[in-house]
């Protein structure tokens, strides 16, 4: 009888330890975020990305960057986009309306046309 009580007590302790170990709130492993590196021209041609860039980027970040190439990080639909562009491209982006995609092949520049 003593061994039965000991077995029941040991089983309860084991179940309690297992319950506490799984009580961290994380049921499954988090999915790694997909990262896509794009040039400025490809980013302007991606649907919805230009509008997301206008919402998430600040001209202060651009102005505080002393390098010739500025890399902006934008999140859209759970995907992290790293957009690389020159100072001239980002100047046009921040100071002119460039939400419309730029098609250089047809002679349209700066999103005007």
The confidence band for 5, taking pLDDT boundaries of 50, 70 and 90, is confident
- How confident is the model at residue 65, as a pLDDT? 75
Residues 6+ apart with CB under 8 A from 92: 98, 110, 111
pLDDT digits (tens, 9 = 90+) for 26-84: 666 666 678 889 888 888 888 888 888 888 888 777 777 777 888 888 888 888 899 88
Which is more confident, 82 or 23?
82
pTM: 0.55
- How confident is the model at residue 29, as a pLDDT? 67
The confidence band for 22, taking pLDDT boundaries of 50, 70 and 90, is low
- How confident is the model at residue 111, as a pLDDT? 52
- What sections of 1-113 are H helices per DSSP? 2-21, 40-45, 49-56, 59-63, 87-95
Helix (H, G, I), strand (E, B) or coil at 72: strand
What is the per-residue DSSP string for 32-60? PPEEEEEEHHHHHHSTTHHHHHHHH--HH
Gyration radius of the chain over CA positions? 27
The residue extents of the domains of the chain are: 34-106
């Amino acid at each position: 009888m003593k061994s039965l009580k000991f077995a029941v007590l040991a089983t309860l302790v084991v179940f309690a330890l297992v319950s506490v170990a799984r009580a961290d709130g994380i049921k499954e492993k988090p999915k790694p975020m997909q990262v896509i590196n794009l040039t400025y021209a490809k980013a302007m041609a991606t649907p919805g990305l230009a509008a997301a860039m206008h919402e998430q980027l600040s001209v202060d970040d651009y102005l505080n960057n002393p390098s010739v190439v500025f890399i902006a990080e934008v999140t859209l639909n759970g995907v992290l986009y790293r957009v690389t562009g020159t100072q001239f491209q980002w100047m046009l982006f921040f100071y002119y309306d460039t939400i419309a995609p730029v098609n250089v092949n047809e002679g349209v520049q700066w999103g005007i046309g």
